[in-house]
Chain A
Amino acid sequence: MDFNFFSNEYKNALLKCEIDNLYEIRLRVGFPATVIVGDKRLFLSENGYSLFSNQAIIVKEEHINYIVNSVTEFSAYAFNDRIKHGYITTSDGIRIGLAGECVFEKQKIITIKNMSSLNIRIPHKISGCSNKILDYVIDGQRVYNTLLISPPFFGKTTTLKDLAENFNKMDLGAILIVDERGEFCDVFGQNIDKIEYCTKSYAFECGVRSLSPKIIITDELSENMDWLGVNNVASCGVSIVASCHGYCMEDLKNKPDLIFSAFERFIFLGDKNDDFFVFDKDKQLK
């Protein structure tokens, strides 16, 4: 994992840390830097992880600016489309959520300035983590239209990444990854095509027309256009595996009705590794 976008103070601190279980770094101006390691919330001090806030590095505005400038390579113009959606992504697929003052013009957000908090999500590749759900996603050579559902931080993206690699190994046909936020940058394969950093609706339309995928994988459906796109893809005979935020079946009822016409399998991921529930349109399968 490349932490070169941090200033030396943070880089040196992180060098002293065991980063295999590091999932998140939160920086808020004026407050101690916190990290989530495994399921524990700790502080980041000059000597690595610490239990005590008084030992932690206190985040300054220049620390935040340094990170943003490094990741954007001093080129806000090249990243502004992502900045105004509240995130930037490093070349390693580390997603950095941004909080600050939104600048509006003609009722549209044009950028975020004076950033005050960063939420740095460290992606993990857990090989085989999707094996447990594979039987519910594949029927012979056909992939069910499947929706993975969980609250943030339960491993939806990690599972999708592993599913993509599993599909690739199983040679199920061309797989198109629609990667709106650059989080699948470490997923490759002979059957995998990727459309990155564009809206899902564009990628669905162009991808189906020009890349002839058999399966489309995408993360975090949220806007109405996303659901509409999914429905169109499903009606073209392309299998789609996607994810969205939610906790239980009741949460899905608040989403557009299209969800039930497009998807055949609904898999709820739990906070523990082997914990999951599977539904089809009518009943619970597991």
Chain B
Amino acid sequence: MNLISGGCVFLLCLIASKVISEKFQKRADFYNGMMNFNTTLQNEISFKKTTLKSLVEKLDDNNDFNLVIKERFNNNLTKIQIAYLKSEEIVFVKNYLSALGVTDSQTQLNMIKTYGDKILEYEKNAKDLAKKYVYLSAKLGFLSGSIGLIILL
């Protein structure tokens, strides 16, 4: 009986650590997707003036930012909720999405540059946190699970 309970506690700790680490990883991936899109958009506007719709259609669904920007084209900007972003980050993302495509190319390029600096900052921060906490939470999850197992045995 104790072995089963210990096993459950061990598993729960691992799952909890996985959930926590995923939050950090997803945030890093989100900003990575946003940064990639911003860079692609900058290149496309500077040269081919490809429309946003064409760019967005080419994005895969493996990144949360890509899913969010697809929602923007369904006029669902108000519905955008991303659990792992802070409220000020959600406002920032919404402002970015609202500003896309509404001005001439030069103004768009200026906007992309300004937002790009901030996205880079968020991306760096998210990557640092992910690097720090993903490994840490896995270790802590394993450790606390093991402690729980030992106590219960």
By secondary structure, the A interface counts as mixed
Contact A73 B53 (CB under 8 A): yes
- A75 contacts the other chain (CB 8 A): yes
- State A243–B107 Cα separation when bound (angstroms): 36
Contact A77 B53 (CB under 8 A): no
Indicate with 1 or 0, residue by residue over B40-59, a CB within 8 angstroms of chain A CB atoms.
Answer: 00000100011111100000
List of A residues within 8 angstroms of B125 by Cβ: none
- B151 contacts the other chain (CB 8 A): no
Closest to A103 in B: B104
- State A167–B112 Cα separation when bound (angstroms): 47
- A51 contacts the other chain (CB 8 A): no
Contact A75 B104 (CB under 8 A): no
- State A74–B51 Cα separation when bound (angstroms): 7
**Least Cβ distance of B47 to chain A in Å?**
12
Contact B45 A77 (CB under 8 A): yes
Indicate with 1 or 0, residue by residue over B99-115, a CB within 8 angstroms of chain A CB atoms.
Answer: 01111110110000000
- State A185–B52 Cα separation when bound (angstroms): 22
List of B residues within 8 angstroms of A75 by Cβ: 49-53, 101
- State A111–B103 Cα separation when bound (angstroms): 9
Contact A80 B104 (CB under 8 A): yes
Closest to B107 in A: A77
Contact B73 A77 (CB under 8 A): no
Closest to A66 in B: B75
- State A74–B57 Cα separation when bound (angstroms): 13
Contact B73 A78 (CB under 8 A): no
- A258 contacts the other chain (CB 8 A): no
- State A111–B108 Cα separation when bound (angstroms): 14
- State A33–B50 Cα separation when bound (angstroms): 32
Contact A76 B53 (CB under 8 A): no
Contact A80 B105 (CB under 8 A): yes
Indicate with 1 or 0, residue by residue over A105-123, a CB within 8 angstroms of chain B CB atoms.
Answer: 0000011000000000000
Contact B51 A72 (CB under 8 A): yes
- State A80–B103 Cα separation when bound (angstroms): 8
- State A78–B44 Cα separation when bound (angstroms): 10
Closest to B54 in A: A73
- State A73–B52 Cα separation when bound (angstroms): 6
Contact A78 B49 (CB under 8 A): yes
CB under 8 Å from chain A, chain B span 42-95: 45, 49-54, 73
- State A111–B101 Cα separation when bound (angstroms): 14
List of A residues within 8 angstroms of B104 by Cβ: 76-77, 80, 110-111
**Least Cβ distance of B14 to chain A in Å?**
44
Indicate with 1 or 0, residue by residue over A70-104, a CB within 8 angstroms of chain B CB atoms.
Answer: 00111111101000000000000000000000000
- State A262–B102 Cα separation when bound (angstroms): 42
List of A residues within 8 angstroms of B102 by Cβ: 74, 76
Indicate with 1 or 0, residue by residue over A227-241, a CB within 8 angstroms of chain B CB atoms.
Answer: 000000000000000
List of A residues within 8 angstroms of B52 by Cβ: 73-75
Closest to A70 in B: B53
Contact A74 B105 (CB under 8 A): no
Closest to B50 in A: A78
- State A151–B100 Cα separation when bound (angstroms): 40
**Least Cβ distance of B101 to chain A in Å?**
4
**Least Cβ distance of B137 to chain A in Å?**
39
Binding site for B on A (CB under 8 A): 72-78, 80, 110-111
The 4 residue pairs across chains A and B that have the minimum distance between CB atoms:
A73-B53, A73-B51, A75-B51, A77-B105
Other A-B pairs beyond A74-B101, A77-B107, A78-B45, 14, CB < 8 Å: A72-B101, A73-B52, A73-B53, A73-B54, A74-B53, A74-B102, A75-B49, A75-B50, A75-B52, A76-B102, A77-B49, A77-B101, A77-B105, A78-B51
